Amino acid sequence: MKQTILLLSALFIQCATVINAKDIRLPAPDMKENTLSLTRTLQQRHSVRNFDKTKTLSLQQISNLCWAATGINRADGRLTSPTAMNRQEIRLFVFTKDGVYEYNAKENTLVEKAKGDNRELMAGGGNKAPNGKKSFRQTFVLDAPVSLLMVIDFEKFGRYDEKAVQMGCVDAGNVSENINLYCQSAGLATVPRATHDTEGIRTLLGLTEKHLPIMNNPVGFEKK
């Protein structure tokens, strides 16, 4: 009995050093998932803006989705989405009703960055338009169980000039398109979006001007 308790305590300490209790260890991405062929996916890809708010994604689906977006697909650590000079500067944040997490591709974990439901920040409207009114908002995103946010990290890119902004935007587009195609092939619904509350996101996640929230993809199931 004493031995079992000691063993369990040792295991607990070992786990605690590897993963914070609030973080989520994802199941391995399913490489044998029965998805549509690339040609069929391209034939069918389209944006969806009406989500079934009664349906959620499983951790397996979130794992597959994050891996498709910007997971590691080679032994040298390169990614499913290409980045200029392999700078890997696109950070992926997962907004759910429970919290905001950053995808750690190497560990296959979701690292908690904020507690609670902050999907409202994906609707937009936080930044004042030039006429002083609240800017454009899209509340349909609140019905999607998950929103994936792409943030360009210019510190990771190593430069913050016009070319870096161009490359960051292209690289974020690559991640977003991976999400678009994966969703279509796996029976999930999504739309690539540039609308969100940039300053609200920076404040929540402790980001600076060297981190640019640039695109997001709400993901869920289409309401039929």
Q: Residue 186 and residue 157: Cα distance in Å, rounded?
A: 31
Among 56, 73, 111, 192, binds ligand FMN (CB under 6 A): 192
Count of other CB atoms within 10 angstroms of residue 192: 17
Q: Is 193 an interacting residue with respect to ligand FMN (CB under 6 A)?
A: yes
Binding footprint of ligand FMN, residue count (CB under 6 A): 9
Among 129, 166, 194, 203, binds ligand FMN (CB under 6 A): 194
User: Of 29 and 218, which CB lies nearer to ligand FMN in the complex structure?
Assistant: 218
Among 102, 112, 195, 222, binds ligand FMN (CB under 6 A): 195
CB of 49 to ligand FMN, least distance (A): 6
Within 136-155, which residues bind ligand FMN (CB under 6 A)?
138
Binding segment toward ligand FMN, per CB under 6 A, in 68-76, 91-99, 152-160, 188-196: 188-196
CB of 105 to ligand FMN, least distance (A): 23
Among 24, 152, 191, 219, binds ligand FMN (CB under 6 A): 191
Binding segment toward ligand FMN, per CB under 6 A, in 56-64, 110-118, 146-154, 193-201: 193-201
Q: Residue 53 and residue 142: Cα distance in Å, rounded?
A: 8
DSSP string, the chain: -HHHHHHHHHHHHHHHHHS-TTSEEPPPP-TT--PPPHHHHHHH------B-TT----HHHHHHHHHHHH-B-STT--BSS--GGG---EEEEEE-SSEEEEEETTTTEEEEEEES--THHHHB--SBPTTSSB--B-GGGGGSSEEEEEEEEHHHHT--SHHHHHHHHHHHHHHHHHHHHHHHHHT-EE--B--S-HHHHHHHHT--TTEEEEEEEEEE-B--
Binding mask 38-77 for ligand FMN (x = CB under 6 A): --------xx-x----------------------------
User: Of 99 and 126, which CB lies nearer to ligand FMN in the complex structure?
Assistant: 126
CB of 108 to ligand FMN, least distance (A): 28
Angle between helices 162-186 and 59-70 (to 10 degrees): 140
User: Of 68 and 105, which CB lies nearer to ligand FMN in the complex structure?
Assistant: 68
Write out the residues near ligand FMN by the rule CB under 6 A. Answer: 46-47, 49, 138, 191-195
